[in-house]
Amino acid sequence: MGPALLGWGPQGLGLGYPVGAAILISILLAIFLAWKASGMTFQIRDIVTFRGEALFWSAILVSNTLGTSMGDFLSDSSGLGYAGGALLVIGVLAILFGLMAYAHVQERRTSGSRTAEQEPVSQRAG
């Protein structure tokens, strides 16, 4: 359904990819702000109300449309073509995964370097 939105969305109106992306990002941010303001959790397994389901599926619909639009931009209008667009997306994802892995290692190092004075008395040997 996300790709179908492009027919009446920003691209269908002839606004172009940059304006379309700005509109879709604004809508997505508005959904997330409304979600946060509602006090509901972002934990998917804890969504049990109609409002939570509506916010979740609205975010999915808009983000899929945004992803489709950006994929079309990368493959058609950017000059990168399909292979170049795919390589760019893979490169960005690799950087994000690398940063996540680095943060995880740093977190484990920090939590593993407690001194005896920092540990609770119940965990000290002896």
Question: Whole-prediction pTM value?
Answer: 0.63
**Tell me, what's the pLDDT at 88?**
93
**Locus of tokens 């209008």:** 77
Domains: count for the chain: 2
Q: What torsion, rounded to 10 degrees, do the Cα atoms 53, 55, 60, 62 define?
A: 150
- Rounded Cα distance between 10 and 8, Å, is 7
**Interval 82-108: pLDDT, tens:** 999 999 999 999 999 999 999 999 988
- Rounded Cα distance between 67 and 6, Å, is 11
- Please indicate, yes or no, whether residues 103 and 51 belong to a single structural domain of this protein: no
**Interval 38-84: pLDDT, tens:** 888 788 888 888 888 999 999 999 999 888 888 888 888 888 889 99
**Does some domain include residue 62?**
yes
**Tell me, what's the pLDDT at 90?**
95
Per the structure, the complete domain to which residue 30 belongs is given by 1-79
**Locus of tokens 């992306």:** 21
DSSP 55-80: HHHHHHHHHHHHHHHHHHIIIIISS-
- Please indicate, yes or no, whether residues 21 and 59 belong to a single structural domain of this protein: yes
- Rounded Cα distance between 123 and 126, Å, is 9
- Please indicate, yes or no, whether residues 25 and 9 belong to a single structural domain of this protein: yes
**Does some domain include residue 8?**
yes
- Rounded Cα distance between 87 and 94, Å, is 10
